[in-house]
């Protein structure tokens, strides 16, 4: 599939070929420590030169990896200065040793950068149940710190596991006459399902904003973006979405939801996280088609979310999209077991793509349609399932992909 295009608006500029180290007051590094057998980059470090505020949302899985448990404590600190990430090893289900290893990472970075350990967040992704090779981790941390002065970084590459492409976007907005930059990076391809999709995501910005407002934005936006992504129905042990702001843009500090700057910044964060969410779905393991489910005209936001996620996550719907089959019955079925309450007699369903649109179910009545026309629409790279409930004004979108034979192959060979 072709990559999702960058599309901004009149209040936002999309900047190309930039990374997190281009945001004022941040430095970053990415190295190949030896964690990956392939020799690819597998560790990254992001550091703010000044005290910053951070907010994060963590996996709802009851089995939480050691770095998630430690970060849930450290995120309570008033300031955050550094984030270290490794791929190839999740440090999950590793008991007390995993917790000790995570804390050692934070302490090592804090000592070398003259920080407190609570100002360091630690992230891991990869194979579950294997202790971290700490000699490699220690050496990797030291190498990352040495690389901070080089002026470049590829952290978005270092965090990849089964991802087939980098996920990095950079935008600029104006707040009270000051340019404010945001860089978003993420990893995620498989083990993706709502309630914190399985992924790691970072939004780095030089905006001046209070920790309270940043936390408010992060929680609100996650529900409509990262929590609406589903690839395979599995919620991970490690997923975390973090945003960090160091105030170096010089804009008046955002301390209220009532300000115009709050809304402009909110919209920018929303754009970045929605773009990353779509990029994760598009890069779903083995995927050949990207799928968006848009439920609108619903009685409530909660109902719209439940139905959209249920349709996007249905294995039968995903298989139908793989086969370019306009099987609308599977859409209705997934809506029916979503937990939402609705009258099927009011529902419209259509399949859409750049090839056109075709109505298959209108006001509860199946529609006769041209199968060849439907095939033409459903063989495109990006498919949208449009569902109009016709009873209210609430809407929600969920993103996923088709289910292919390649998905089984990737996950059958994951540990080898």
Catalytic residue numbers, as ranges: 198
Non-local (6+) Cβ contacts of 1 within 8 A are 282, 287, 288, 289, 290, 381, 382
* Contact (Cβ atoms closer than 8 angstroms) between residue 266 and residue 219: no
At residue 357, the 3 state secondary structure works out as strand
> Taking phi first (over 0 means left), then psi (-120 to 50 degrees means alpha), and beta for anything else, what does residue 195 get?
left
Scan for tokens 């993103």, then name that residue.
399
d(CA 76, CA 49): 20
- Enter the tokens of residue 77: 């600190």
Residue with tokens 């999209």: 321
Burial of 153 (0-12, 13-18, 19+ CB in 10 A): buried
Q: To which residue do tokens 């190309």 refer?
A: 16
- The tokens for 395 are 């809407």
Beta bridge partner(s), residue 382: 290
Residues contacting 195, CB < 8 A, separation 6+: 59, 60, 227, 235
């Amino acid at each position: 599939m072709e990559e999702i295009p960058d599309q901004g608006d009149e209040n936002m500029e999309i900047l190309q070929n930039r990374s997190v180290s281009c945001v004022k007051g941040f430095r970053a590094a990415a190295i190949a420590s030896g964690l990956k057998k392939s020799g690819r980059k597998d560790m990254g470090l992001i550091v703010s030169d000044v005290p910053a505020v951070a907010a994060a949302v963590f996996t709802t899985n009851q089995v939480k990896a050691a770095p998630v448990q430690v970060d849930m404590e450290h995120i309570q600190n008033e300031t955050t200065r550094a984030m270290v990430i490794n791929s190839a090893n999740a440090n999950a289900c590793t008991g007390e040793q995993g917790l000790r290893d995570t804390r050692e990472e934070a302490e090592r970075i804090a000592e070398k950068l003259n920080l407190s350990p609570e100002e360091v967040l630690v992230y891991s992704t990869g194979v579950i149940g294997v202790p971290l090779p700490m000699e490699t981790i220690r050496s990797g941390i030291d190498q990352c710190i040495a690389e901070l002065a080089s002026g470049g970084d590829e952290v978005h590459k270092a965090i990849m596991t089964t991802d087939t492409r980098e996920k990095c976007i950079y935008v600029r907005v104006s707040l009270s006459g000051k340019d404010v930059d945001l860089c978003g990076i993420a990893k995620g391809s498989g083990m993706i399902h709502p309630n914190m999709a399985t992924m790691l995501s970072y939004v780095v910005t030089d905006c001046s904003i209070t920790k309270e407002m940043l936390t408010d934005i992060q929680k609100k936006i996650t529900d409509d973006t990262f929590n609406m992504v589903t690839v395979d129905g599995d919620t991970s042990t490690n997923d975390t979405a973090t945003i960090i702001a160091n105030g170096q843009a010089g804009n008046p500090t955002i301390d209220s939801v009532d300000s115009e700057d709050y809304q402009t910044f909110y919209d920018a964060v929303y754009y970045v996280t929605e773009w990353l969410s779509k990029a994760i779905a598009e890069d779903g393991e083995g995927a050949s088609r990207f799928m968006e489910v848009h439920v609108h005209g619903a009685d409530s936001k909660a109902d719209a979310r439940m139905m959209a996620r249920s349709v996007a996550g249905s294995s039968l719907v995903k298989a139908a999209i793989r086969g370019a089959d306009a099987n609308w019955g599977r859409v209705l079925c997934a809506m029916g077991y979503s937990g939402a309450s609705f009258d099927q007699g009011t529902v419209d369903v259509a399949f859409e793509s750049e090839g056109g649109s075709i109505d298959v179910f209108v006001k509860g009545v199946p529609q006769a349609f041209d199968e060849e026309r439907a095939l033409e629409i459903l063989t495109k790279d990006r498919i949208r399932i449009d569902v109009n409930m016709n009873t209210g004004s609430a809407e929600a979108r969920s993103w996923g992909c088709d289910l292919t034979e390649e998905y089984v192959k990737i996950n059958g060979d994951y540990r080898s």
